[in-house]
């Protein structure tokens, strides 16, 4: 029996016939499985390449949009500098003692036009326009108030300059000005314009003669105009203004600030951010970039017909939140405003971040400071850069009423000055820095406002 069992045993070094047959049958299945795996690997590689390519195109598209927006804002900045210098030369010495130009902040319009550039790529772009309020004050002469636009002209649109006809001016030693009716548009498509030598004289003449003026910013930093007849007597409307700081302060009637709707706050934030890029390092923002300098016109509202409970809502209804403005004064015969140094980028961006925080929480940084430990201890609030930076950082990290994610990102970028992925020393002359501002600051704010565009 033991001999039979020994003869049937399979040596350890030899493979059993049954297992050999089974391995031969499974080889074809294994080969098919390997082929399937190879096919799946090739398919996954193709998918990975397609996704990577789409991601690169998306990144390139975002960078391209940011670069185009930065370029548009930079061109508008050059026009703003030319406009300021043109105003300096258009108000003569010996006229009114004090001239003032209020310029509306139009950064949002530039952003919207750039976002819609695909639809108008093959169309001629609209010329840039500045909306201003020109006014003057003098103890001996009558004041004037003129609101209108100044359109930037191309050199090709000007045919020649026309002299201005003689006009009766106030005072014995006023320069004589002549006004000639502009010629009609010629077949070549050019239009005649009138050189403005004195804004006060031109506006005064138009008011008396019932003319509607159209101002233009021409090359060589000169202001030119056209006019047309008006059937009605032009009576300038004077509106009082209120600062952003005043809007964020408690009202006497209620003890709390006026309520500003979320739409108005988000749109205003986008406007302030884009306007900073448009007017950075220009005379328009010299000592004028804070909540005290941002102004809004107030529309007169009858107070007698409103109850005390409704008085708190009057301010919201009467304020034109969509059109903030800043102002600059021009002393007669002086250009001191244009010689002041520009605001450094870090300080300007920190002030912008603080204003964005104040808009979200609808209160001021000073009011928030009173709720902190240092404020309650009676310690004075620091007004230098690092003191305001530390306080803004604490407010940004406060868990109470956190801003929306995109809005929080924009504030954080401004306060920490973290653009382009690095904490670098920023410079307004750096094109890459301006591009990073558009990508990391303007784009998040624009996305937050898209539902109201």
pLDDT digits (tens, 9 = 90+) for 234-279: 666 677 889 999 999 887 777 777 788 899 999 999 999 999 999 9
Does the pLDDT value for residue 78 go beyond 80?
Answer: yes
For residue 16, is it within any domain?
Answer: no
For residue 337, is it within any domain?
Answer: no
For residue 278, is it within any domain?
Answer: no
Specify the higher pLDDT residue, 211 or 309: 211
- List pLDDT tens digits, range 137-189: 765 666 678 888 999 987 555 444 444 444 333 333 333 333 333 333 333 33
Total number of domains in the chain: 1
Give me the pLDDT at residue 425, please: 74
The conformation of residue 16, written as its DSSP 8-state character, comes to: -
Distance CA 226, CA 206 (A): 11
| For range 10-25, the mean pLDDT | 55
Give me the pLDDT at residue 128, please: 86
- Cβ atoms of 103 and 131 within 8 Å: the answer is yes
Report residue 81's pLDDT band, with 50, 70 and 90 as the boundaries.
very high
Q: What percent of the chain has pLDDT over 90?
A: 25
For residue 52, is it within any domain?
Answer: no
Give me the pLDDT at residue 233, please: 63
For residue 405, is it within any domain?
Answer: no
Give me the pLDDT at residue 185, please: 31
Q: Edge-to-edge strands of the sheet including 295-297?
A: 158-162, 191-195, 222-229, 211-218, 144-152, 129-137, 98-104, 325-331, 295-297, 241-243
This prediction has a pTM of 0.74
Give me the pLDDT at residue 278, please: 92
Q: Are strands 144-152 and 211-218 parallel, antiparallel or unpaired?
A: parallel
Give me the pLDDT at residue 286, please: 78
| For range 309-325, the mean pLDDT | 66
Radius of gyration of the chain (CA): 34
For residue 398, is it within any domain?
Answer: no
Strand ranges in 219-324 using DSSP code E only, listed in sequence order: 222-229, 241-243, 295-297
Structure-token match 């405003």, residue found: 337
Domain of residue 214, residue span = 61-229
For residue 438, is it within any domain?
Answer: no
Report residue 412's pLDDT band, with 50, 70 and 90 as the boundaries.
very high
For residue 166, is it within any domain?
Answer: yes
> Please, what's the b/e burial string for 146-166 (b: 16 or more CB within 10 A of its CB; e: otherwise)?
bbbebbbbeeeebbeebebee
Structure-token match 């624009």, residue found: 446
- List pLDDT tens digits, range 346-376: 999 999 999 999 999 999 999 888 888 777 7
């Amino acid at each position: 029996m033991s001999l039979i069992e020994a003869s049937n045993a399979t040596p350890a070094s030899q493979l059993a016939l049954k297992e050999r047959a089974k391995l031969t049958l499974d080889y074809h299945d294994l080969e098919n499985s390997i082929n399937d795996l190879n096919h799946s690997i090739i398919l996954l590689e193709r998918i990975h390449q397609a996704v990577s390519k789409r991601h690169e195109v998306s990144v390139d598209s975002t960078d391209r949009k940011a670069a185009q927006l930065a370029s548009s804002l930079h061109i508008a900045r050059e026009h703003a500098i030319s406009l300021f210098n043109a105003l300096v030369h258009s108000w003569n010495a010996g006229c009114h003692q004090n001239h003032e130009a209020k310029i509306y902040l139009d950064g949002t319009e530039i952003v919207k036009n750039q976002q819609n550039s695909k639809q108008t790529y093959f169309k001629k772009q609209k010329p840039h326009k500045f909306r201003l309020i020109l006014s003057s004050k003098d103890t001996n002469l009558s004041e004037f108030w003129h609101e209108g636009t100044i359109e930037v002209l191309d050199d090709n649109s000007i045919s020649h300059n026309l002299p201005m006809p003689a006009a009766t001016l106030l005072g014995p030693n006023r320069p004589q000005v002549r006004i000639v009716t502009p010629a009609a548009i010629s077949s070549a498509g050019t239009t005649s314009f009138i050189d403005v030598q004195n804004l006060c004289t031109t506006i005064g003449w138009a008011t008396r003669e019932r003319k509607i003026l159209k101002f233009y910013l021409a090359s060589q930093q000169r202001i030119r105009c056209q006019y047309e007849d008006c059937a009605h007597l032009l009576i300038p409307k004077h509106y009082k203004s209120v600062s952003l700081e005043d809007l964020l302060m408690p009202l006497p009637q209620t003890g709390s600030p006026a309520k500003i709707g979320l739409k108005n706050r988000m749109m205003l934030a986008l406007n302030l951010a884009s306007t900073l890029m448009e007017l950075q390092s220009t005379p328009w923002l010299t000592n004028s970039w804070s909540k005290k300098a941002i102004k809004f016109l107030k529309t007169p509202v009858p107070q007698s017909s409103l109850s005390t409970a409704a008085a708190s809502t009057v301010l919201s209804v009467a304020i034109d939140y969509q059109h903030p403005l800043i102002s600059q004064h021009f002393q007669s015969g002086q250009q001191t405003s244009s010689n002041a140094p520009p605001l450094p980028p870090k300080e300007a961006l920190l002030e912008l971040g603080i204003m964005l925080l104040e808009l979200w929480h609808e209160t001021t940084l000073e009011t928030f400071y009173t709720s902190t430990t240092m404020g309650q201890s009676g310690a004075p609030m620091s007004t230098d850069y690092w003191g305001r930076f530390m306080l803004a950082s604490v407010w940004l990290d406060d868990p109470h009423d956190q801003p929306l994610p995109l809005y929080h990102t924009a504030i954080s970028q401004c306060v920490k000055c973290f653009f382009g992925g690095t904490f670098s020393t920023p410079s307004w002359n750096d094109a890459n820095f301006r591009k990073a501002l558009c990508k990391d600051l303007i784009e998040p704010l624009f996305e937050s406002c898209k539902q109201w565009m």
